[in-house]
Amino acid sequence: MLNLDQYSSLGAVLREALDRYANETCLIESDRDRERTRLTYSDFKDMALPLARALEDTEFRANDRAAIIMTNQSKWLISAYAIFHCGGVLVPLDYKLSADEHLQLLEHSQATVLVVEFHLWRAIMQSPDFKDHKLHTVLVTEAPPSADLGGAFRWEEFRRKGDPVFKPRLRADVACIVYSSGTGGRPKGCVLTHENYLEQCKALTAWYPFWPGVRYLSILPTNHAIDFMVGFIGPFVCGACVVHLRTLRPEYVRDAFVRYRITYVSLVPMVLKNLERGLKAKLQALPGFQRTIFRQLVAVNKFFTGWKPDVRLSRMLLPQVHRAFGGQLRTMFTGGAFIEASTLQFFYDLGVPIANGYGLTEAGTVLTVNDLKPFRADTVGKALPGVELRVLSPDEEGVGEIAARSKTIMSRYLNDPELTAQTIVDGWLLTGDLGRFDGDGHLQLLGRKKNMIVTEGGKNIYPEDIENAFEGINVKEFCIFAANFIWPAKELGEEMLVLAIRLETGQEFSEALKQEIDQRNRKLPDFKRVGGYVLWERDFPRTASMKIKREMLAQEISKALSRAAMVQL
């Protein structure tokens, strides 16, 4: 891979990669069972530079801001590189947000250029606030020839001849403005520098290297911090290939593993749980004799790989499992939400290691990750190279707020010095997450600082830690809160946990469901039991990685329901 210490910006290192790996395949785009696009690094360059030249003609200058609102596809990465080539600041926005939210963040970020898919642009144009937008240039992809674009340009036609002038940037210059989870109320735009990304990439590839021939399956949205790094910057500076799918239907995702012999993939815990359930169902469906042999082979693999993974051995012992993943899968990455240790252990025992990590947008991408030396299912791993972690004001069990210091930490929140001062203190990022270190330096997460209760006996209870006890109850989705987190109390006392439940369409809260919840609840120690529940009639708000936006959900429930709406268990 390229020596990242020698480059001052993402644009500079990507520019070098396009020449260094000119003949290697960098992007594959597949739609269902049909491959739409396959680009070498040289092809990528030939598509990006005319776009950068056209942006120059619009007087898009260094430090100007350009937003992208698109699903995973080659045009996302091509547009991003063109923006960096011009010295611009990239504003990646979540395509799943509403049109009003998009307009809010476009205004807050002061973006002057927007690259957007046609169906998303059409929705934005229909918003009542559209007339107030301050965009100078809008590029719309895949627009029908007869479509009214409201003065926007077709991305495919927005090209100019001639070589664009590369605009060098310094490491301290702003590379991206990334909005952290939730847009309700106070937008939190994390200002990330070129150094943040270069240092993050250097640390991650030190533990999990890419190289020409590696194929990364991009499932998380590219605007997400994890996929932007692991599904764009990381592969490109190493000459690897990124595979985009235009559909996430399970059968086509499974086919992509096999067809493209995927090496790495990042998945949210929800997807991993679904994979686990599917694999267990197939195991149960095997005839008894075959099931016994399979379990014995898993036991043998577990014995020989207990200390560290041995991919070759696992593929020999359990070929049917590894063929289903394409036969070349080395590691799956996960993070962004709590995942049960049993799920991580299940995949590891099959010879499919999952590197569980912990990070937040304010920290660039990742602060810790399991380096598999040894594999630990009960932690989020160790601090990456260059990352310092502290546990502030630990209690008698060593639990306190996690603080981080690193060259990957954002410079500030955009236009919010007050929130910045509350979040970054003396160079340390206060994460708002609670955790502790074990004896080997692995970090264990226990919950959010605010969403917590203290029992009369002085015990700290973390709701996220208890959700595992209710996994699988017959509802669409659920979440556990401290009641005082939803309905803030001005004094301590009468603290309890509350279960927020979203039922399936047409489902009623039956006596059988109540008994199931009661049964799960009784298995918990007294001080960890849920004290009541509320029924919520709307889908839970989620981030791009499908993590529940807990604070937003609590605010929505608080506004709509009084504490009296909570039914005692």
CATH of the domain at 55: 3.40.50.980
Whether 86 is covered by a domain: the verdict is: yes
Q: What is the pLDDT of residue 183?
A: 40
Domain count, the chain: 2
Structure tokens at 94: 């979540």
Q: What is the pLDDT of residue 97?
A: 86
Whether 323 is covered by a domain: the verdict is: no
Which value, to the nearest 10 degrees, does the dihedral of the CA atoms of residues 106, 112, 118, 123 take? 30
Indicate if the pLDDT at residue 489 is higher than 80.
Answer: no
Q: What is the pLDDT of residue 339?
A: 82
Indicate if the pLDDT at residue 209 is higher than 70.
Answer: yes
Indicate if the pLDDT at residue 447 is higher than 80.
Answer: no
CA 189 to chain centre: 16
Indicate if the pLDDT at residue 275 is higher than 80.
Answer: yes
CA 475 to chain centre: 25
Indicate if the pLDDT at residue 184 is higher than 80.
Answer: no
Q: Which residues on adjacent β-strands are paired with residue 451?
A: none
- The domain boundary residue, chosen from 233, 259, 285: 259
Indicate if the pLDDT at residue 449 is higher than 80.
Answer: no
Whether 523 is covered by a domain: the verdict is: yes
The band of 180, judged by pLDDT with boundaries at 50, 70 and 90, is: confident
User: Which are the contacts of 380, defined by CB distance < 8 A and separation ≥ 6?
Assistant: 335, 356, 357, 358, 368, 369, 370, 442, 443, 444, 445
Whether 322 is covered by a domain: the verdict is: no
Q: What is the pLDDT of residue 271?
A: 83
Q: What is the CA radius of gyration of the chain?
A: 24
HSE of 233, CA atoms in CB hemisphere, 13 A: 30
CATH number at residue 486: 3.30.300.30
Q: Which residue has the higher pLDDT, 219 or 115?
A: 115
The band of 494, judged by pLDDT with boundaries at 50, 70 and 90, is: low
With 0-12 / 13-18 / 19 or more C-beta atoms within 10 angstroms meaning exposed / middle / buried, residue 380 is buried
Residues 122-133 have a mean pLDDT of: 94
Q: Tokens 């390229």 identify what position?
A: 2
Structure tokens at 41: 């690094």
Q: Please report, for residues 2, 53, 519, 539, 567, the alpha-carbon distance to residue 535 in angstroms, rounded to integers and kept in the order given.
A: 53, 54, 19, 11, 9
Query: What residues make up the domain containing 89?
Result: 4-259
Do 534 and 558 form a contact (C-beta atoms < 8 A)?
Answer: no
What proportion of the chain, given as a percentage, has pLDDT over 90? 75
- The domain boundary residue, chosen from 201, 226, 259: 259
Indicate if the pLDDT at residue 460 is higher than 80.
Answer: no
With 0-12 / 13-18 / 19 or more C-beta atoms within 10 angstroms meaning exposed / middle / buried, residue 222 is buried
Cα distance between the two ends of the chain: 57
Whether 21 is covered by a domain: the verdict is: yes
| 363: amino acid identity, one letter | A
Which value, to the nearest 10 degrees, does the dihedral of the CA atoms of residues 56, 58, 60, 61 take? 60
Q: What is the mean pLDDT of the chain?
A: 92
Task: Give the pairing type, strands 34-40 and 25-31.
Answer: antiparallel
Question: Which tens digit of pLDDT belongs to each residue from 369-428?
Answer: 999 999 999 899 999 999 999 999 998 889 999 999 999 999 999 999 998 999 999 999
Q: What is the pLDDT of residue 182?
A: 41
Do 49 and 163 form a contact (C-beta atoms < 8 A)?
Answer: yes
- The domain boundary residue, chosen from 231, 259, 287: 259
What proportion of the chain, given as a percentage, has pLDDT over 70? 96
Range in 384-393, 462-471, 511-520, 557-566 with the lowest mean pLDDT: 462-471
Residues 141-159 have a mean pLDDT of: 95
User: Which are the contacts of 475, defined by CB distance < 8 A and separation ≥ 6?
Assistant: 501, 502, 503, 504, 507, 513
Q: What is the pLDDT of residue 337?
A: 67
With 0-12 / 13-18 / 19 or more C-beta atoms within 10 angstroms meaning exposed / middle / buried, residue 401 is middle
Q: Tokens 């937040």 identify what position?
A: 360
Q: Which residue has the higher pLDDT, 224 or 3?
A: 3
Whether 350 is covered by a domain: the verdict is: no
Mean pLDDT comparison of 106-110, 488-492, 545-549, highest-scoring range: 106-110
Indicate if the pLDDT at residue 259 is higher than 80.
Answer: yes
Collapsing DSSP states into helix, strand and coil, what is residue 42?
Answer: helix
Q: What is the pLDDT of residue 545?
A: 72
Q: Where are the beta strands (DSSP E) in 184-278?
A: 189-193, 215-218, 241-245, 264-266
What is the Cα–Cα distance from 467 to 498, expressed in whole angstroms? 11
Q: If you ran DSSP here, which 8-state letter would residue 130 be given?
A: G
Q: What is the pLDDT of residue 50?
A: 98
Q: What is the pLDDT of residue 455?
A: 63
Q: Which residue has the higher pLDDT, 247 or 76?
A: 76
Residues 234-247 have a mean pLDDT of: 95
* Alpha-carbon dihedral sign for residues 18, 21, 27, 28: positive
Closest by CA position to 324, among listed 291, 279, 293, 264? 279
Indicate if the pLDDT at residue 343 is higher than 80.
Answer: yes
Q: Please report, for residues 131, 169, 238, 522, the alpha-carbon distance to residue 166 in angstroms, rounded to integers and kept in the order given.
A: 34, 10, 21, 65
Whether 298 is covered by a domain: the verdict is: no
Structure tokens at 308: 């560290």
